[in-house]
Structure 1
Amino acid sequence: MSPLISNINILFFFFMIMISLLNQSSNAADFCVADLTAPEGPAGYPCKDASTVTSDDFYLNNITRTRTRYPLFKVSATFATTPNFPGLNGLGLSMHYFEIGVDGFVPILTKPQTSEIIYVIEGMVDVGFISSDNKAFYKTLRDGDVFAFPKGLLHFFVNSGRKSTARILASYSSSDPGIQFFTNSIAGNDLPSEMVAKVTFLDTDQVKKLKAQFGGTN
């Protein structure tokens, strides 16, 4: 056997050992149920004592019973994320169920940390996202349709059915996806209205009106 082939075999052997060790390390604990009494860090919540983990940590009752409402947008939702579903911590997945009423919409938003895929249970919905080169990708979805949103891009949902509520199930590639609504961000802050107007091409009066609506100041 030539020295070159021998060295390649040795490198391959150590590479396989490293892969094995990494897998053993990642699987050292079967799960990391969130300790919600501790602060959340960049990697999620710390694990709670395994002896206190129960089946209820991996269970969420009736996701289709909406628990949070957004009257301004005619939207209601249930969030299956780590803060209310601690067994998801570290698993890299989560879900939302939401309903969009007639003439309702989910305003332009981004989820910087996660990709998303949705399934339309019932209704007709216009959905879309805008790529980083400002190209729009959008589609009208109906019962049974599925649509994917790439990580971090601006996107939206509009109920385009004239007489019925749209019911949607969404899944994410993070156990606690961050959500940032565009309008809330520009109008719900404490930047001076003149500054917001300057950097958004909106007029100052319109900014003040939006700030009053979304809880901003100055």
Structure 2
Amino acid sequence: MTVDVDDLAWRAVSRPRTVLLTAPRSCPAGVQRAISIITDLVPRKKVYVRKQILNNENVIADLETRGAIFVDGLDEVPEGATVMFSAHGLSPSMRAEAAARRLDVLDATFPLVTESHALAAMAVESDLVLVLGPMNSANSMRLVELAHRHRRPAHLIENAAAIRPAWLTGVRTIGLTAGPSVPARQLDGVLALLAELGPLTVSEVEPVETLHFGQPVRR
């Protein structure tokens, strides 16, 4: 996206800024664990996985080669078969449907139960936090909520075009983070937009995930 520097709204928020960037991880710990569970199970039985656990075609293709079967809905899983739910979660209606069809459900939902300490530190040091990711991403929404808990304004955006000039009023430091499935070009687009508004200093912050894992639970 190119900023119209003659637009009064953008001109009013033009100034030097610093971006604190948390680089997206290629494969978060929770997803790595899901992959490990699937890899361990498929030599012994057919495992159906509801929803792709990561928007990474190479990972998905590898798991399919090993024997994992990815499905969009429970109606694609044979009655009595083993089905694994991904990190997207398990709703009460899904549990009821699985029970009715006597599915052997492996609930491998991995909650991010404690804060990402790097992100928390970034939020405290920022005047504004931008989370780049899909609007239906629960993880991205949790990052926005984390920033709010630290009393910082935060917005979930899908691309640079979603940024509003009013958000940048009085903002000197922006915390920017992106999910692992976000294409690099979208992240570059956000940085390019901000650079059009004045000199931009980008400092990369290494993210630290703190997760608690229990054993996979059969429902």
TM band (smaller chain): under 0.3
The structure whose residues are more often strand, as a share, is 1
Higher relative contact order (CA 8 A, sep 6+): 2
TM-score (norm 2): 0.23
Q: TM-score, normalised by structure 1?
A: 0.23
Larger helix proportion of the pair: 2
